[in-house]
C-alpha cells in the first residue's frame, strides 16, 4: 500500500512548479516514488496545472513501467522518470523546460560551478548529456532519455547525490531530490544559476573558476555530517 | 449566419493576449474566421484591450475585405489577416510585437529549431519573410504583408500546418491555428522560444542543431495520427 | 489661473509611471505645462511615489524657473523640464532611468529605428546627446542638460514632434508629448524598444535597417492628416 | 540594553528584502547594529523569510561574535557582518545573491560607474574583492570574507561611506548603510545597476566613462553638505 502522504506531496509540488514560472502551459512534470510500494506518482499527460487534482496523479509501477489503476495516462515522460528512479537513489524527479536551463541544454554546454550560489546546491558542474543516437530516439525514446542521464553520471564518475541535476542535450533540465519539495527547489535554483551563467558567458567567457576549496567549503556548509547551515542540531 | 460561439472565443483570446504580456498598449490583435459565413472577426483598430467588448469586434468579409456592419473600424492589420485566411487553411490568426520574436524579426533571422521545446510546436525553423519592396509598402501595404507571408511558405516549400508561425522582417510575428485559443498559445510559445534563441545566439552562435529524428519524434508525439501526448484516445 | 484638470492629469501620470516599472524608488518625474498660465507642475524632489498627492505637485514658473507657492521643493530636474518647454512645443515631459534606455544612454548609442514597432511612435532614430562639458556640468547643470537636449535636435535637424524622445549621454531618457499620458506612454514604448535594440545589438550587430518607405508608412499610419490607425474620423 | 526600535527595523528590512526579488529561498540576510549595546541583530540561519518573526532575529555580540540569548543559530554569514561592523562605520549590512550583481562577482569584474544613476548612490566603481586564499577559505571562512572586504577598501584607498557596497569574488554582493532600510535600498539599486552594466558590457564593451565632474555633481546632489536633492532643509 502506498504512503498516503505521497499523493498530497506530489500534488503540491506540481502546483508549486506551475507557480514558479519554470513551466509553460502543460510543459513539465513532478513525480515522487514509494519504493516500498513499488510505484511512483506522476502528473497525467497534457493536463493543465490548474485542472490537476491529487486524484488525477497517475501511479506507475517501478517494475513494469505501466500505469497502475486510474483512467488517465501518465506523463509521456514517465519512462524517463522510471529510469532515473532505477539508476539513482532519490525520492522525487522534476522535469521542466525552464528558459535559461533549456538555453544551456540547446547550446550543449554544462552549467559550470562558477560561484558559491552554485556550490550551496551542486558540488561541481551540472553536466549535459551526449546527444542521443538515431536508434535511441527512434526506439524507446523516453526510456532511453533516462538511460542517457544515468550513463552521464556513471561514465563521468559523478555523484547524483552531490550533483542532483542534469541538462539533456537539445531538450531541457531534470532535477531530483529526497522528496518532491526538494526536487522542485533544485529546479528553481538551477534556473536561477543558469540565468547567471548565460550572463557570465555573454560578458566574460574566459572568467576563472573559483578554487575547489571554496566550492567544497560552501557545499559542506549545507550538506553532510559537518554542515553548519540552518537550524539542524549538529 | 455566423457561428455564435466565435465572437466569444475571439473576445476571450484577445483578453488572454493582453494578459500574456505579449502586447503593449493597443499593439497586437486576434481574429477568428467562420468560413461558412464568409467573415472573420477582428479587434477594432486602436482600442485598448481593457475597453474591448465582444460586440466591439468587427466582422470583415472574406470576399471583399470590407467591414460588415458595426460602427468601429477593424484593426489596420485586417488585410494581412485576410490574406492569411485566403492562403492558409486555419481558423484564427494572432499578431503581436512581442519583444524577443520582434528582435529576431528586426535581425531578419529565423527562429531556428534547436530543441525539443520548439519541435513540440513547430516542425522546423520558423521562417522570416523577405523585406518588402518599396512598391509593396507604398501600395496595399497590409494586404501585401499577408501575401509575402504566404509566399514565404510556398516558395520555401513549408507547411503552414506544421510551422504555424512566421516572422515578418523588421516587423514582428504572426501565428495561426485551428481556433483563437490555439493561435494565442502558439504566440506565447513562439515568444518563449525566441527568448531562448536570443540567449543561445549570444553565448553559442555555432551551436549544433538537433538531429532531424529528434525533431520529428517530438513533433509526432503531439501531432498527427501517432500522437501519444495528452489524454486523447488513440 | 491654471487649468484645473492639469494637476490631476500630472498626478495620475506620475502614479502610472511608478506602476510601469520604469522608475526605481524616487527616481524619475513627470511634469505638465499650462502655457497660458505660464507654469508647469512637477513632482516634488525625493518624494516616494506612494506618498505623492495631487496637492504635493509643485508649480514652477516658465518665466523665472522658480517654484510658485507651496512648501515643497520641485524635482531637482525641474530646470531640465523648463528648457524642454522653452525649446519644444509640447505639453508634458517625462524623465526616467529605465533600465534598457539607460543602458543605451551609458553606451552613448542612439536607439536606432530598426522596425515598425519603433516607426509607429518615432520617425527615425532616437538620438543621444553629446557628453556635456565640465563647464556645463559645474555650472547650471540641470538647465544645461535641457539646453543640450534642445541643441541635439536643432543641430541634427530633427523634429521634436516626430521624434519625441532623447537619450542623455551617461544619464537616461526624456520623452515628451501633448499631455502627460502621452509622454508616459512614449517612455514605456521607448523602454520596450530599447530592450529589443539591446538584444538586436547582442546577436546581430550588423543587421540591416528597414527601408525608409516602411518607416514612413508606419509612422504615417498613426500620425498626420493621412493617419488611418484607430477610430478617429478620417 | 538594546535600542527597542532596532528589532522591528531589522525585521521589516528582512521582509522587504524577501519581497524585492533579490533573494531566493533562504538566501540572503539583513543585520542592524546597536553599537552602544555592543550587539547586532541578524536573520537566523536557514529560516524561510515568511517564517521569520521579530523575536526570531538573533543577537550577536560585537565583542565575542557569539549569539547572545535565544534558541536559534544566527545566519552562517554572521562573522562576515561582524567584521564589516568592526571595519566600517555603518549601522546595517545586507547580503544577497541577486542575479546580476552575482554575475559580476562571478566574472570578478567591478560594477563600473558608467552614469548618473550609479553616481546618485555610489561615488565610483563598486569594487570586487581579490579571490580568497585556500588558507582563508579553510580557516575562519566567514570572518575572513569580512576581512577581505575591509582590506579591499583600505588597500584601494576607497571610502566605505561613499561606496557602500562590494562584490565578493565568486560569491555575491554586500551593501551597508546608516540603517537597515538604507542598506536594503542600496542592495536594490546595486542590482538595478548591475543589470545595466551587464547589458552595457554585452553591446558596448569599450564604452567611454562619464567625466569625473559628472559623477561628482550627481553624488553631491544627494550627499554631503551641499546636497540639494529631496526635501531636507539646506
Q: What is the pLDDT of residue B232?
A: 60
Task: Check: CB of residue C97 under 8 Å from CB of residue C31.
Answer: no
Instruction: Determine whether the interchain pair A114/D170 forms a contact, defined as Cβ–Cβ distance below 8 Å.
Output: yes
Determine the 3-state secondary structure of B44 from DSSP: strand
Q: What is the pLDDT of residue C46?
A: 85
Q: What is the pLDDT of residue D208?
A: 96
Instruction: Determine whether the interchain pair B47/C217 forms a contact, defined as Cβ–Cβ distance below 8 Å.
Output: no
Catalytic residue among D34, D120, D179, D216: D120
Average pLDDT, chain B: 94
Task: Check: CB of residue A141 under 8 Å from CB of residue A115.
Answer: no
Q: Of D102, D106, D217, D111, which Cα lies nearest the Cα of D164? A: D111
Q: What is the pLDDT of residue C32?
A: 98
Instruction: Determine whether the interchain pair B100/C199 forms a contact, defined as Cβ–Cβ distance below 8 Å.
Output: yes
Q: Is position B50 annotated as part of the catalytic site?
A: no
Instruction: Determine whether the interchain pair A172/B208 forms a contact, defined as Cβ–Cβ distance below 8 Å.
Output: no
- Nearest by CB to C203, from B25, B169, B201: name it: B201
Q: Centre a 10 Å sphere on the Cβ of residue C55 and count the other Cβ atoms it contains.
A: 9
- Report the neighbours of C using a cutoff of 3 or more CB pairs below 8 angstroms: B, D
Task: Check: CB of residue A76 under 8 Å from CB of residue B229.
Answer: yes
The answer, for D15 touching chain A at a CB cutoff of 8 Å, is no
The answer, for C130 touching chain D at a CB cutoff of 8 Å, is no
Q: What is the pLDDT of residue B124?
A: 97
What residues does B165 pair with on adjacent strands?
B175
What residues does B173 pair with on adjacent strands?
B167
Catalytic residue among B141, B212, B216, B229: B229
Burial D190-201 (b: 16+ CB within 10 A, else e): bbbbbbbbbbbb
Residue A230: pLDDT band with limits 50, 70, 90: confident
The answer, for C199 touching chain B at a CB cutoff of 8 Å, is yes
Catalytic residue among B55, B120, B121, B125: B120
Instruction: Determine whether the interchain pair B137/C228 forms a contact, defined as Cβ–Cβ distance below 8 Å.
Output: no
Residue D41: pLDDT band with limits 50, 70, 90: very high
CA atoms within 13 A on the CB side of B102: 25
Task: Check: CB of residue B58 under 8 Å from CB of residue B70.
Answer: yes
Instruction: Determine whether the interchain pair B134/C211 forms a contact, defined as Cβ–Cβ distance below 8 Å.
Output: yes
The answer, for C177 touching chain B at a CB cutoff of 8 Å, is no
- The alpha-carbon radius of gyration of chain D (Å, integer) is 17
Residues of A in contact with B185 (CB under 8 A): 25
Distance CA A170, CA B202 (A): 17
Residue written as cell 518607405?
A: C213
- Give per-residue pLDDT as tens, C77-88: 999 999 999 999
The answer, for D225 touching chain A at a CB cutoff of 8 Å, is no
More confident residue, B26 or D117: D117
Task: Check: CB of residue B29 under 8 Å from CB of residue B46.
Answer: no
Residue D234: pLDDT band with limits 50, 70, 90: very low
The answer, for D192 touching chain C at a CB cutoff of 8 Å, is yes
Selected residues 101-120 of chain A with any CB under 8 Å from a CB in chain D:
114-117, 120
Q: What is the pLDDT of residue C73?
A: 93
Residue B211 has pLDDT above 60, yes or no: yes
- Nearest by CB to B25, from C185, C195, C232: name it: C185
CA distance C143 to chain D (A): 14
- The alpha-carbon radius of gyration of chain A (Å, integer) is 17
Instruction: Determine whether the interchain pair C117/B172 forms a contact, defined as Cβ–Cβ distance below 8 Å.
Output: yes
More confident residue, D143 or C19: D143
Instruction: Determine whether the interchain pair A170/B231 forms a contact, defined as Cβ–Cβ distance below 8 Å.
Output: no
Distance CA D225, CA B97 (A): 49
Q: What is the pLDDT of residue A232?
A: 60
- Report the neighbours of B using a cutoff of 3 or more CB pairs below 8 angstroms: A, C
The answer, for B132 touching chain C at a CB cutoff of 8 Å, is yes
Residue B234 has pLDDT above 70, yes or no: no
Residue A35: pLDDT band with limits 50, 70, 90: very high
Residue written as cell 496595399?
A: B140
CA distance A88 to chain D (A): 26
- Report the neighbours of D using a cutoff of 3 or more CB pairs below 8 angstroms: A, C
Q: Is position D8 annotated as part of the catalytic site?
A: no
DSSP string, B80-129: HHHHHHHHS--SEEEE---HHHHHHHHHT--B---SHHHHTT-SSPBPBP
Residue A23 has pLDDT above 90, yes or no: no
Nearest CA in chain A to B200: A103
- D-interface mutation test, from A117, A183, A192, A208, most D Cβ less than 10 A away: A117
Residue A72 has pLDDT above 80, yes or no: yes
- D-interface mutation test, from C107, C132, C199, C202, most D Cβ less than 10 A away: C107
Task: Note the residue count of chain C.
Answer: 234
- Give per-residue pLDDT as tens, A153-209: 999 999 999 999 999 999 999 999 999 999 999 999 999 999 999 999 999 999 999
Task: Check: CB of residue C84 under 8 Å from CB of residue C174.
Answer: yes
Instruction: Determine whether the interchain pair D107/A207 forms a contact, defined as Cβ–Cβ distance below 8 Å.
Output: yes
Residue D4 belongs to what H/E stretch?
A: helix D4-19
Q: What is the pLDDT of residue C232?
A: 60
Judging by DSSP bridges, how do beta strands B92-95 and B29-34 pair with one another?
Answer: antiparallel
Q: Of C103, C198, C204, C190, which Cα lies nearest the Cα of D207? A: C103
Residue A49: pLDDT band with limits 50, 70, 90: confident
pLDDT truncated to tens, each residue of chain C (234 aa)? Answer: 788 899 999 999 999 999 888 888 778 899 999 999 999 999 999 888 888 999 999 999 999 999 997 789 999 999 999 999 999 999 999 999 999 999 999 999 999 999 999 999 999 999 999 999 999 999 999 999 999 999 999 999 999 999 999 999 999 999 999 999 999 999 999 999 999 999 999 999 999 999 999 999 999 988 988 888 888 654
- A-interface mutation test, from D99, D107, D200, most A Cβ less than 10 A away: D107
- Give per-residue pLDDT as tens, D64-114: 999 997 789 999 999 999 999 999 999 999 999 999 999 999 999 999 999
Residues of A in contact with D105 (CB under 8 A): 115
Q: Of D130, D109, D102, D69, which Cα lies nearest the Cα of D201? A: D109
Q: Of A205, A3, A24, A217, which Cα lies nearest the Cα of A118? A: A217
Distance CA D192, CA C24 (A): 9
Task: Write the CA distances from C87 to C133, C153, C162, C185, integer angstroms.
Answer: 20, 10, 15, 21
Measured torsion, CA atoms of residues A192, A193, A199, A200, in degrees rounded to the nearest 10: 160
Instruction: Determine whether the interchain pair D210/C170 forms a contact, defined as Cβ–Cβ distance below 8 Å.
Output: yes
Determine the 3-state secondary structure of D209 from DSSP: coil
Catalytic residue among C8, C212, C216, C229: C229
Amino acid at each position: 500500500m502506498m504512503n498516503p502522504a505521497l499523493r498530497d506531496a506530489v500534488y503540491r509540488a506540481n502546483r508549486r512548479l506551475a507557480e514558479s514560472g519554470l513551466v509553460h502551459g502543460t510543459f513539465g512534470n513532478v513525480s515522487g516514488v514509494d519504493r516500498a510500494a513499488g510505484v511512483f506518482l506522476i502528473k497525467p499527460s497534457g493536463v493543465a496545472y490548474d485542472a490537476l487534482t491529487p486524484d488525477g496523479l497517475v501511479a506507475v509501477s517501478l517494475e513494469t513501467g505501466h500505469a497502475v489503476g486510474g483512467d488517465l495516462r501518465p506523463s509521456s515522460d514517465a519512462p524517463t522518470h522510471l529510469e532515473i528512479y532505477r539508476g539513482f537513489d532519490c525520492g522525487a524527479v522534476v522535469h521542466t523546460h525552464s528558459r535559461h536551463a533549456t538555453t544551456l541544454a540547446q547550446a550543449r554546454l554544462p552549467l559550470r560551478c562558477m560561484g558559491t550560489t552554485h556550490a550551496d546546491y551542486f558540488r561541481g558542474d551540472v553536466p549535459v548529456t551526449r546527444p542521443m543516437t538515431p536508434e535511441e530516439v527512434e526506439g524507446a525514446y523516453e526510456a532511453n532519455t533516462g538511460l542517457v542521464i544515468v550513463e552521464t553520471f556513471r561514465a563521468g564518475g559523478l555523484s547524483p547525490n552531490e550533483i542532483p541535476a542534469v541538462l539533456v542535450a537539445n531538450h531541457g533540465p531534470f532535477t531530483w531530490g529526497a522528496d518532491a519539495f526538494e526536487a522542485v527547489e533544485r529546479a528553481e535554483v538551477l534556473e536561477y544559476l543558469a540565468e547567471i551563467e548565460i550572463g557570465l558567458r555573454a560578458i566574460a567567457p574566459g572568467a576563472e573558476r573559483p578554487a575547489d576549496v571554496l566550492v567544497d567549503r560552501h557545499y559542506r556548509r549545507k550538506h553532510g555530517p559537518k554542515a553548519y547551515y540552518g537550524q539542524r542540531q549538529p
